[in-house]
Amino acid sequence: MSFPTVRLRRLRYSPAVRKLVRETVLSPDRFILPLFVRSGQNIRNPIAAMPGHFQLSVDELVKEAKECVSLGIGGIILFGIPDTKDAGGSEAMNENSIIAQAVRAVKDSLGDKLLVLTDVCFCEYTDHGHCGVVGKTPDGRIDVDNDKTLQNLVRQTLIHARAGADIVAPSGMMDGMIHALRTGLDDAGFSHLPVMSYAAKYASAFYGPFREAAGSAPQFGDRRSYQMDFSASAAQAVREVSLDLEEGADIVMVKPALAYLDIIRMVRDRFEGVPTAAYNVSGEFSMVKAAAERGWIDEKAVVLESLTAITRAGASIILTYWAKDAARWLR
Ligand code: PBG
């Protein structure tokens, strides 16, 4: 059957009809807001490349978290900015790290009203800015030592767990990372604690503004020996996700989101029933902000269209710097 019997415009003729046949709907309880936390009191240091976002002291972070609850946002993910950095990133393994303080404060004040996720990685804590222990390989290259880094990631994770994190989210793209964390958590009595893996994380220029926000830009080289190559076969993302699931990941993430909608869709189709998250990253945020500030695009319309696209591609959870604005717009 075809035209004139079939007319697809019939299902678009009024707002109510369009609403009836909609399938992709956004819901703030599946948004996660990334937040940056540092030491001090009453501090809200603006992040120049990310208008509306700040490095927050713990007291200010708690205020922000309360606002998230009132907007119906599902969770926050915390990134720590330590006072001191060193080669090993020892501040990340301090029982009273900035993240431990932040998690305790938010949990004390809000309990189960808001999920507190923690990013597990070393790039914010090392003076060289790489995501783990840097050393010389037998063939003379300087690179992140995978297996030594795993041990440190477990220490960092246990600190987050003991502080009361609801979900831990390792983002370092080390091999065997999920297995190491799962085993470490289970041995320490945290077998109930879910792991959200940054499973398919690409070496992306879209992380630029984040590295200013978190002070985590690599001081030499880049992250291409651990994060994925965007020109590699898309099937490699499937392998990454599949291995993480075998190692015990509960939620898998694709990152960035908008330039990788094909990967989100592929993961969704291949791993039915696995919650799939997508990280709408800093560069994706800043580009839209910059264009909106110039009046070149309509921020609200572009953001809701983008978040819908990420959802339609198959993400059930979205990490986004627009979580609060989008929650307001959706009211
Ligand atoms: C690593 C980490 C990064 C982001 C989240 N976790 C930076 C990186 O890999 O260099 C980027 C997030 C964003 O750009 O919004 N801890």
For the segment 28-75, what is each residue's pLDDT rounded down to a tens digit? Answer: 999 999 999 999 999 999 999 999 999 999 999 999 999 999 999 999
pLDDT digits (tens, 9 = 90+) for 93-147: 999 999 999 999 999 999 999 999 999 999 999 999 999 999 999 999 999 999 9
- State which ligand 1 atom lies nearest to the alpha carbon of 172: 1
Count of domains forming the chain: 1
Domain of 129: which CATH number? 3.20.20.70
| Residue 207 in contact with ligand 1 by CB distance below 6 A | yes
How open is the CA angle 201-205-207, to the nearest 5 degrees?
65
Asked if the structure places residue 106 within a domain, the reply is yes
Q: How far is Cα 213 from Cα 257, in angstroms, rounded to an integer?
A: 19
| Residue 56 in contact with ligand 1 by CB distance below 6 A | no
Task: Give the pLDDT confidence score for residue 293 in this predicted structure.
Answer: 97
Task: Give the pLDDT confidence score for residue 324 in this predicted structure.
Answer: 98
Look up residue 214 and give its amino acid.
A
The 3-class secondary structure across the chain, one letter per residue, is CCCCCCCHHHHHCCHHHHHHCCCCCCCHHHEEEEEEEECCCCCEEECCCCCCCEEEEHHHHHHHHHHHHHCCCCEEEEEECCCCCECCCHHHHCCCCHHHHHHHHHHHHHHHHCEEEEEECCCCCECCCCCCCEEECCCCCEEECHHHHHHHHHHHHHHHHHHCCCEEEECCCCCCHHHHHHHHHHHCCCCCCCEEEEEEEECCHHHHHHHHHHCCCCCCCCCCCCCECCCCCCHHHHHHHHHHHHCCCCEEEEECCHHHHHHHHHHHHHCCCCCEEEEECHHHHHHHHHHHHCCCCCHHHHHHHHHHHHHHHCCCEEEECCHHHHHHHCC
| Residue 284 in contact with ligand 1 by CB distance below 6 A | no
Asked if the structure places residue 146 within a domain, the reply is yes
| Residue 123 in contact with ligand 1 by CB distance below 6 A | yes
- State which ligand 1 atom lies nearest to the alpha carbon of 282: 15
For residue 25, name the pLDDT band (cuts at 50, 70, 90): very high
Asked if the structure places residue 318 within a domain, the reply is no
Asked if the structure places residue 246 within a domain, the reply is yes
Asked if the structure places residue 19 within a domain, the reply is no
Task: Give the pLDDT confidence score for residue 155 in this predicted structure.
Answer: 98
12, 33, 193 from 174: Cα distances, Å:
48, 24, 20
| Residue 210 in contact with ligand 1 by CB distance below 6 A | yes
For residue 317, name the pLDDT band (cuts at 50, 70, 90): very high
Q: Decide: pTM greater than 0.85.
A: yes
Q: From ligand 1's centre to the CA of 23, what distance in Å? A: 31
Q: From ligand 1's centre to the CA of 210, what distance in Å? A: 6
Structural domain boundaries, residue 126: 25-253
Task: Give the pLDDT confidence score for residue 81 in this predicted structure.
Answer: 97
| Residue 226 in contact with ligand 1 by CB distance below 6 A | no
In the chain, the percentage of residues whose pLDDT exceeds 70 is 100
Residue with the nearest Cα to atom 6 of ligand 1?
Answer: 171
Asked if the structure places residue 148 within a domain, the reply is yes
- State which ligand 1 atom lies nearest to the alpha carbon of 206: 14
Q: From ligand 1's centre to the CA of 24, what distance in Å? A: 27
| Residue 36 in contact with ligand 1 by CB distance below 6 A | no
Instruction: Give the residue numbers marked as catalytic.
Output: 201, 255
Asked if the structure places residue 305 within a domain, the reply is no
Residue with the nearest Cα to atom 2 of ligand 1?
Answer: 171
Q: What average pLDDT does range 254-266 have in this prediction?
A: 98
Asked if the structure places residue 77 within a domain, the reply is yes
